[in-house]
């Protein structure tokens, strides 16, 4: 049974950039980091979110947790609209939604001990520092595979993979339901990356977690996700279950993205065999008209330059935003 | 004759805790037109190897403690700075991971390419400009003549990396060292840059040393592969051999821990632990604390590289007995 | 979960970060030298009542212009006052002024900088005022302020604070702006932390390093500026013994009694140099990034 835990509808985040100057005289431009995005994340599943740098993945993840305020659109958590609720009411929801970051070095306060770092969410939600809290923290540490003697250590004493475990423990200590993993394994060496991916999967099973797994590595996303959403320049262009999207992608951008992944064996070298998309990602400040992918799309048609395609159901559970599939 | 011949290279750094070897007894060779891939996790010594070959490490704190680098018959480790400068450019040139920090933000890209050429060849201003436009064309920058006067910040990450490659190629080097040339780039751009490097090799026949932590990049580009771990070369073989018959437990682990794009695996095979820092390397086989095949004897001596199969060397005491049939 | 075992283990030897910092500081040669120089002056200033016998303000025309010697360690000045007493009490005043300016800066500079950096809505207003104050050369602004308020020790402290707080605030603000975007701050927000908690636990402790470095240099500027103000006659009113006052009076007798101007000058130099070395050391150890930028 699939029940949505998170539903985003028409979610947008526009940043004003380049403005300010002396007395705010310089005119600001609007950067549409996330533009009218709608999707759901089902309870207990992992939704992978892929796309190239700057396409709005992190912004979208932070919007869901209301770490930044949306320009428009709504977010529902467990059926309740949390888009406009106040700070205090939001605090209640914060217990249920947490985030794990990419940079194992920037994600932990260097002046706090591991115990204080992991206990902080508990303390914020009313726990008294003491034996009981310490016990909970120790249990969490063990769950993520760190010994209790790590408690009174400081972040600089740990390797990148160990820091990532501490960050995971901090995110899980309140027993949340939704975790946004923003490139949680991208900065790690492959051998350590595999340890953390396994850990995330074990914890998901054990604690019934729901993940939004943001990453740019398509093979890791395939491994960990149930469904995958692809973003391009602030838009979600395709969503489908992972088998479908990797085996039979419909959107030309998804196709290009998968074709660009390096071969896993020298016998499957892609040069000269797979289609490449040319050019660079256009600037998000000045995105192309109509379909944002039209400047690089090998199948571009006149209509693509004029009208933006909408995200539509192309098959059961498979949504695409492309004029090709509209016809 | 080999274009590049590295023998027993050991580079040490002076640190707060005394002198530590960043790389130890690294040996390999490279022929004209060959692409050698060097793969290993961060801190395994890939960049130090590249920078030692280029003579670009600041001395001190760095010191070439042993070994030699022979390029085109000349011993680079004994060469004066002036002579070394003449080798860099037309002999060996290098591109780096971070294209933004390796380009000077206050000069236009055209000026930077022209300056590189002018350092080695006497050409008129007009000819220099023409060559620079040519180079930008070659690396696939559209409307090159217009972009020549742009500054690095006006270009995207992928374009900057192309500019870096254009600069590196400006003097027709015999050997190009590419240190993680695509790590900072997106996959679609990575694919373009890797294609470009292969095209340039085919066109000019230069040798390329491509350094990466990504087995996929190796699979896409390399002819021969060197696997490094904790400062040492632990396996060397033709690319197909490395993927089909990896002989070192670490190489095998490295291949197994990446998820597949086509197959479902219930669980990834992870290598426990992490790469030790140079000052905290274990005695004996550096991989022993993480190796599932380790025996007590593995921690007693450092296994040397041995030729186990044609063109395939490996540094593991148990490689023979563990080799697949 | 067997594959999560840590082969390398966590370092056996462990050390509190504060302790590690102290250890590195005391190994830093410049820092130790600076600390010694400044420490000597500070000890002299604190123990002034016990190490001086003569009243620094008692005139004794009989004894004027006595050179340094056995009876008068530093000699006497044009009014026959003991130069030792005057310089020692002057040290005390310099320290009081320096410490007060540093204290006011630590409180108000941090407050304004943290508010401006953390609450972007306050930023524009606070920083415009700040920029306006910083547009004047420091010493001219200080002279202007003391001329308006009138010369007195308290007014010197006020003037120097008005001059330097905007500069301190700007430094704090820029660290806060960087720290506010750190992922651990976002993690705290995600856990439901309020502004106060974030500022107190996550931002201010990490903004301390550049702040401490700045304050040690500020101490030196304050001592130097105080001397300049007194020397120009807009600082503490004579006969209050301050290094600036002593030097101003000694200026007229440079030929016949060079020690009057030289001794406080040397004291000033030792203090300022000590503080600068101390600051350099702190900067190297606490905030190595700053070293590259300079
Ligand atoms: N605070 C901000 N102010 C202005 N622009 C912003 C801000 N945050 C993000 N952006 C812009 O919004 C766009 C999307 O950014 P975002 O960080 O969500 O990308 P991303 O997909 O996570 O990229 P990456 O893979 O590099 O992490 C980018 O163009 C970025 O420059
Ligand atoms: N300037 C330096 N001083 C001290 N140690 C260094 C220096 N540069 C590199 N090292 C050490 O040498 C080892 C190998 O580094 P490097 O070659 O950069 O690894 P990678 O394989 O990631 O390129 C690392 O452990 C690194 O810490
Ligand atoms: S809408 Fe047009 S341009 Fe966009 S992806 Fe589809 S075919 Fe290509
Ligand atoms: S030498 Fe021993 S420890 Fe090292 S890789 Fe071989 S089996 Fe493992
Ligand atoms: Mg991101
Ligand atoms: Mg490197």
A187/chain C closest Cα distance in angstroms: 14
pLDDT of residue C9 exceeding 70, the answer is: no
pLDDT of residue C290 exceeding 90, the answer is: no
Q: What is the pLDDT of residues C173-232, one digit of tens each?
A: 999 988 988 889 989 998 889 899 999 999 998 888 888 888 999 998 998 888 888 888
Chains with 3 or more CB pairs under 8 A to chain A: B, C
- Average pLDDT (C164-179) is 91
pLDDT of residue C289 exceeding 80, the answer is: no
- Average pLDDT (B195-217) is 90
In this prediction, residue B95 has a pLDDT band, given cuts at 50, 70 and 90, of: confident
Ligand 3 contact, A237 CB (< 6 A): no
Spatial contact of B240 and B249, defined as CB atoms under 8 Å apart: no
B251/chain A closest Cα distance in angstroms: 11
In a domain, residue C1? The reply is no
Contact A264 B219 (CB under 8 A): yes
Domain range for C253 is 23-289
Ligand 3 contact, A304 CB (< 6 A): yes
**How much of chain A, in percent, has pLDDT values that exceed 70?**
95
Chains with 3 or more CB pairs under 8 A to chain C: A, B
Distance of CA B108 to the CA centre of its chain: 28
Q: What is the pLDDT of residues C58-73, one digit of tens each?
A: 777 777 777 777 777 7
- Return d(Cα A73, Cα A10) in angstroms, integer: 5
pLDDT of residue A327 exceeding 70, the answer is: no
Tokens coding A258: 């998968």
Lowest mean pLDDT: which of B31-45, B224-238, C82-96?
Answer: C82-96
Residue after which a domain boundary falls, among B229, B244, B268: B229
Ligand 3 contact, A31 CB (< 6 A): no
B166 and B273 belong to one structural domain: no
Residue C122's pLDDT is 83
Residue A27's pLDDT is 63
Tally Cβ neighbours within 10 Å of residue C160.
31
Q: What is the pLDDT of residues B112-151, one digit of tens each?
A: 889 888 888 888 999 999 989 988 888 778 778 888 888 8
pLDDT of residue A24 exceeding 70, the answer is: no
Residue B69's pLDDT is 92
Ligand 4 contact, B185 CB (< 6 A): no
Contacts of B280 in chain C (CB under 8 A): 8
Cα of A52 vs centre of ligand 5, distance in Å, is 9
Residue at token pair 């350092």:
B119
In this prediction, residue B209 has a pLDDT band, given cuts at 50, 70 and 90, of: very high
Q: Is C5 on the interface with B (CB under 8 A)?
A: yes
Q: Is B219 on the interface with A (CB under 8 A)?
A: yes
Contact B290 C7 (CB under 8 A): yes
Residue C254's pLDDT is 81
Ligand 3 contact, A293 CB (< 6 A): yes
Distance of CA A187 to the CA centre of its chain: 15
- Average pLDDT (B218-235) is 94
Residue after which a domain boundary falls, among B211, B229, B247: B229
User: How many CB pairs (< 8 A) connect A and B?
Assistant: 131
Per-residue exposure over C229-267, b if at least 16 CB sit within 10 Å of its own CB, e if not: bbbeebbbebbbbbbbbbbbbbeebeeebebbbebbeeb
Ligand 3 contact, A300 CB (< 6 A): yes
Best residue among B316, B320, B321, B323 to mutate for probing ligand 4's pocket (most ligand atoms within 8 Å of CB) is B316
Tally Cβ neighbours within 10 Å of residue B211.
24
Spatial contact of C113 and C176, defined as CB atoms under 8 Å apart: yes
Tokens coding A95: 């217990």
B26 and B118 belong to one structural domain: yes
Residue after which a domain boundary falls, among B175, B201, B229: B229
Instruction: Tell me which DSSP letter residue B156 carries.
Output: -
- Average pLDDT (B299-306) is 92
Contact C8 B274 (CB under 8 A): yes
R_g of chain B, CA atoms, integer Å: 21
Of B272, B276, B280, the CB nearest to C5: B272
Contact C190 A97 (CB under 8 A): yes
pLDDT of residue C4 exceeding 90, the answer is: no
CA distances (Å), origin A30, targets A13, A27, A286, A291: 10, 10, 9, 18
pLDDT of residue B317 exceeding 60, the answer is: yes
- Return d(Cα C92, Cα C49) in angstroms, integer: 10
Q: Is A160 on the interface with C (CB under 8 A)?
A: no
Residue at token pair 């022979």:
B70
Residue A169's pLDDT is 94
Tally Cβ neighbours within 10 Å of residue A94.
22
Q: What is the pLDDT of residues A248-260, one digit of tens each?
A: 999 999 999 998 8
Best residue among B9, B10, B12, B13 to mutate for probing ligand 2's pocket (most ligand atoms within 8 Å of CB) is B13
B137 and B258 belong to one structural domain: no
**How much of chain C, in percent, has pLDDT values that exceed 90?**
26
In this prediction, residue A22 has a pLDDT band, given cuts at 50, 70 and 90, of: low
Q: Is C201 on the interface with A (CB under 8 A)?
A: yes
Q: What is the pLDDT of residues A198-214, one digit of tens each?
A: 999 999 999 999 999 99
In this prediction, residue A20 has a pLDDT band, given cuts at 50, 70 and 90, of: low
pLDDT of residue C55 exceeding 90, the answer is: no
User: Chain B residues within 8 A (CB-CB) of chain C?
Assistant: 270, 272-274, 276, 280, 289-290
Of B41, B195, B222, the CB nearest to A191: B41
- Average pLDDT (C17-36) is 87
B190 and B325 belong to one structural domain: no
Residue C12's pLDDT is 46
A55/chain B closest Cα distance in angstroms: 11
Residue B60's pLDDT is 78
Residue C245's pLDDT is 85
Give the mean pLDDT of chain C.
83
B216 and B238 belong to one structural domain: no
Contact A156 C17 (CB under 8 A): yes
Contact A145 C188 (CB under 8 A): no
B contact residues 152-191, partner A, Cβ 8 Å cutoff: 156-159, 186-191
Closest ligand 3 atom, CA of A323? 1
Q: What is the pLDDT of residues A65-111, one digit of tens each?
A: 999 999 999 999 999 999 999 888 999 999 999 999 988 888 999 88
Instruction: Tell me which DSSP letter residue C76 carries.
Output: B
Contacts of A246 in chain B (CB under 8 A): 261-262
Sign of CA dihedral A21, A24, A26, A30: positive
Contacts 24+ apart (CB under 8 A), C84-88: C84/C52, C84/C54, C85/C52, C85/C53, C85/C54, C85/C55, C85/C56, C85/C241, C86/C56, C86/C241, C86/C246, C86/C264, C87/C241, C87/C243, C87/C246, C87/C263, C87/C264, C87/C267, C88/C44, C88/C45, C88/C48, C88/C51, C88/C52, C88/C56
Q: What is the pLDDT of residues A104-155, one digit of tens each?
A: 888 999 889 999 999 999 999 988 888 899 999 999 999 898 888 888 888 8
Contact C8 B289 (CB under 8 A): yes
Lowest mean pLDDT: which of A38-47, B292-301, C87-96, C104-113?
Answer: C87-96
User: How many CB pairs (< 8 A) connect B and C?
Assistant: 19
- How many folded domains does chain C comprise? 1
Residue whose Cα lies nearest atom 6 of ligand 4: it is: B316
Domain range for B268 is 230-325
**Alpha helices, DSSP H, located in A187-293:** 190-207, 218-224, 242-247, 252-260
A4-18+29-96+176-326: CATH, from 1.10.10.10, 3.40.920.10, 3.40.50.1970, 3.40.50.300: 3.40.50.300
pLDDT of residue B12 exceeding 80, the answer is: yes
Residue C11's pLDDT is 53
SS3 content of chain A, % helix, strand, coil (to 5): 35, 25, 40
B122/chain A closest Cα distance in angstroms: 34
- Average pLDDT (B235-251) is 95
Can you tell me whether residue B4 is helix, strand or coil?
strand
In a domain, residue C6? The reply is no
Looking up residue C253, the CATH number of its domain turns out to be 1.10.3720.10
- How many folded domains does chain B comprise? 2
Three-state secondary structure string covering B170-237: CCCCCEEEEECCCCCCCHHHHHHHHHHHHHHHHHHCCEEEEEECCHHHHHHHCCEEEEEECCEEEEEE
Most confident of B183-187, C75-79, C229-233: C229-233
Q: Is C186 on the interface with A (CB under 8 A)?
A: yes
Best residue among B291, B306, B322 to mutate for probing ligand 4's pocket (most ligand atoms within 8 Å of CB) is B291
CA distances (Å), origin C46, targets A94, C52, C74, C227: 53, 11, 19, 19
């Amino acid at each position: 049974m699939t029940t949505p835990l998170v539903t985003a509808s028409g979610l947008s985040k526009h940043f004003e950039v380049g403005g300010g100057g002396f007395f705010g005289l310089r005119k600001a431009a609007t950067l549409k980091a996330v533009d009218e995005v709608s999707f759901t994340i089902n309870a207990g599943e992992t939704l992978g979110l892929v796309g190239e740098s700057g396409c709005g993945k992190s912004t979208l993840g932070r919007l869901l947790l209301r770490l930044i305020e949306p320009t428009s659109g709504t977010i529902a958590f467990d059926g309740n609209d949390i888009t406009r609720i106040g700070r205090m009411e939001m605090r209640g929801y914060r217990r249920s939604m947490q985030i794990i970051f990419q940079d194992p070095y920037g994600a932990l306060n260097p002046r706090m001990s591991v115990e204080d770092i992991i206990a902080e969410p508990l303390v914020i939600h009313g726990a008294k520092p003491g034996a009981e809290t310490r016990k909970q923290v120790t249990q969490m540490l063990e769950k993520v595979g760190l010994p209790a003697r790590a408690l009174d250590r400081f972040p600089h004493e740990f390797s990148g993979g160990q820091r990532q475990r501490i960050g995971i423990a901090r995110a899980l200590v309140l027993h949340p339901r939704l975790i946004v993993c923003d490139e949680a394994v991208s900065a790690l060496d492959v051998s350590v990356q595999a340890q953390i991916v396994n850990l995330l999967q074990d914890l998901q099973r054990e604690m019934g977690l729901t993940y939004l797994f943001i990453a740019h590595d398509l093979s890791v996303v395939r491994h960990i996700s149930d469904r995958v959403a692809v973003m391009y320049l602030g838009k979600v262009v395709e969503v489908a279950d992972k088998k479908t999207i990797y085996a039979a992608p419909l959107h030309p951008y998804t196709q290009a993205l998968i074709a660009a992944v390096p071969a896993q064996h020298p016998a499957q070298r892609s040069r000269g065999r797979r289609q490449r998309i040319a050019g660079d990602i256009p600037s998000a400040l000045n995105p192309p008209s109509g379909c944002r992918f039209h400047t690089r799309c090998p199948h571009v048609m006149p209509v693509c330059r004029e009208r933006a395609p909408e995200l539509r159901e192309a098959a059961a559970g498979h949504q695409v935003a492309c004029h090709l599939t509209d016809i | 004759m080999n274009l590049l011949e590295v023998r027993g290279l050991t580079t040490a750094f002076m640190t707060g805790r005394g002198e530590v070897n960043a790389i130890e007894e690294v040996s390999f060779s490279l022929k004209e037109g060959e692409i050698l891939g060097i793969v290993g996790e961060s801190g395994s010594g890939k960049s130090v190897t590249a920078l030692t070959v280029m003579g670009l490490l600041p001395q001190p704190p760095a010191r070439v403690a042993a070994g030699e680098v022979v390029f085109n018959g000349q011993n680079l480790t004994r060469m004066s700075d002036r002579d070394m400068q003449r080798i860099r450019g037309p002999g060996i040139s290098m591109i780096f991971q971070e294209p933004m920090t390796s380009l000077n933000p206050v000069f236009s890209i055209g000026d930077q390419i022209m300056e590189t050429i002018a350092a080695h060849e006497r050409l008129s201003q007009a000819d220099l400009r023409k060559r620079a436009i040519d180079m930008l064309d070659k690396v696939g920058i559209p409307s090159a003549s217009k972009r020549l006067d742009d500054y690095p910040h006006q270009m995207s990450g992928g374009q900057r990396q192309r500019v870096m490659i254009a600069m590196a190629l400006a003097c027709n080097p015999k050997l190009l060292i590419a240190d993680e040339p695509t790590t900072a780039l997106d996959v679609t751009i990575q694919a373009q840059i890797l294609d470009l490097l292969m095209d340039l090799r085919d066109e000019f026949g230069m040798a390329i040393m491509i350094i990466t932590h990504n087995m996929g990049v190796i699979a896409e580009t390399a002819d021969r592969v060197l696997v490094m771990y904790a400062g040492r070369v632990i396996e060397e073989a033709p690319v197909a051999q490395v993927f089909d018959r990896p002989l070192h437990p670490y190489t095998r682990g490295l291949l197994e821990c990446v998820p597949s794009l086509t197959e479902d695996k219930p669980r990834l095979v992870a290598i426990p632990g992490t790469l030790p820092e140079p000052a905290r390397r274990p005695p004996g086989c550096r991989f022993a604390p993480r190796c599932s095949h380790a025996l007590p004897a593995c921690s007693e001596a450092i296994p040397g590289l041995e030729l186990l199969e044609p063109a395939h060397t490996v540094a593991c005491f148990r490689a023979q007995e563990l080799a697949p049939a | 979960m067997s594959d999560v075992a840590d082969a390398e283990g966590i370092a056996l030897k462990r050390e509190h970060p504060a302790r590690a910092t102290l250890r590195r500081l005391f190994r830093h040669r410049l820092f130790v030298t600076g600390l010694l120089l400044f420490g000597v002056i500070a000890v002299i200033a604190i123990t002034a009542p016990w190490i001086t016998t003569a009243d620094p303000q008692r005139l004794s025309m009989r004894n004027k212009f006595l050179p340094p010697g056995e009876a008068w360690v530093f000699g006497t000045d044009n009014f026959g006052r003991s130069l030792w007493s005057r310089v020692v009490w002057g040290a005390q005043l310099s320290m009081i002024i320096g410490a007060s300016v540093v204290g006011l800066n630590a409180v108000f500079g941090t407050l304004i900088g943290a508010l401006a950096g953390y609450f972007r809505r306050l930023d524009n207003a606070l920083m415009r005022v700040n920029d306006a104050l910083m547009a004047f050369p420091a010493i001219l602004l200080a002279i202007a302020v003391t001329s308006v308020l009138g010369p007195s020790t308290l007014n010197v402290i006020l003037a120097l604070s008005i001059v330097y707080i905007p500069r301190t605030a700007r430094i704090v603000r820029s660290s806060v702006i960087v720290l506010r975007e750190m992922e651990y701050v976002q993690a705290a927000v995600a856990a439901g932390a309020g502004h106060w908690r974030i500022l107190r636990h996550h931002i201010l402790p990490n903004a301390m390093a550049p702040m401490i470095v700045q304050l040690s240099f500020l101490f030196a500027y304050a001592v130097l500026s105080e001397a300049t103000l007194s020397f120009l006659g807009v600082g503490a009113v004579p006969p209050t013994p301050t290094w600036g006052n002593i030097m101003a009076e000694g200026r007229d007798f440079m030929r016949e009694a060079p020690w009057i101007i030289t001794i406080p000058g040397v004291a000033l130099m030792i203090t300022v140099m000590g503080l600068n070395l101390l600051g350099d050391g702190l900067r190297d150890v606490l905030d190595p990034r700053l070293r590259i930028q300079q």
